[in-house]
Chain A
Amino acid sequence: GAVVSQHPSWVICKSGTSVKIECRSLDFQATTMFWYRQFPKQSLMLMATSNEGSKATYEQGVEKDKFLINHASLTLSTLTVTSAHPEDSSFYICSARGSLRGHSPLHFGNGTRLTVT
């Protein structure tokens, strides 16, 4: 089945530094990738939709200058949390879709636990 690799699985950084999270589709070309944030015991909150070769579309309330998304190829999207603060600590999950059609399921990475100290 389709595999999405997300790296790193966990990261601890100091306040004010930037952290990059990678999301790769290993055996299919992902026309679209999605980035989510998940708070403890809550559902996924869509942050942005990333299309290869174009600017990401951010959900309302998500700061595009703080959460930089780059989708440089059909198999790689990156999320950079810039100038991280403790309130950015969360579980970040990416997903990818091989097709633009609604019936195509999302394939998820295993998530990245970010802790900002």
Chain B
Amino acid sequence: AQSVTQLDSQVPVFEEAPVELRCNYSSSVSVYLFWYVQYPNQGLQLLLKYLSGSTLVKGINGFEAEFNKSQTSFHLRKPSVHISDTAEYFCAVSDRGPNNNDMRFGAGTRLTVKP
């Protein structure tokens, strides 16, 4: 089975600074990777996903992530954050087997953007 580790539980950063939220995964098979964002008292919204092809994936709200197979990582980055980016971010992994319903989530990283 696959698992996800988000290395930082909290990341404080000032507005307009760059940010990187780290995610590492483990799996015995090839995987699909996802990043979701959760605003207070809401469900999760898909930011971006890696399925295949280019290892640099661009998502909504100016976020991007890079899949690194050798390091089993899928770190999320944004070059300049806004106050509105303050939220909880979850990395998730799903294996590539057919008819697979199993998606595993990391523990989450709380991004706090300060003025």
Contact = CB atoms under 8 A, between A and B. Distances in A.
Interface of A: 4, 6, 9, 32, 34, 41-44, 49, 91, 93-95, 97, 100-103, 105-111, 113
Q: Which size class do B's interface residues fall under?
A: 20 to 34
20 contacts: A4-B43, A6-B43, A9-B41, A34-B101, A41-B108, A42-B108, A43-B108, A44-B44, A44-B90, A44-B105, A91-B41, A102-B31, A102-B95, A103-B32, A103-B96, A106-B92, A108-B43, A109-B43, A110-B41, A111-B41
Interface of B: 31-32, 34, 36, 41-46, 49, 51, 90, 92, 94-103, 105-108, 110
A88 B74 CA distance: 34
Given A102-B96, A105-B46, A108-B43, A32 B106 contact: no
A9 B43 CA distance: 10
Name which of A9, A97, A102 has the most chain B CB atoms within 10 A of its CB.
A102
Given A105-B34, A108-B43, A100 B105 contact: no
Contacts, number: 66
A106 B103 contact: yes
A33 to B, nearest CB: 10
A11 B27 CA distance: 39
A77 B6 CA distance: 31
B110 A41 contact: yes
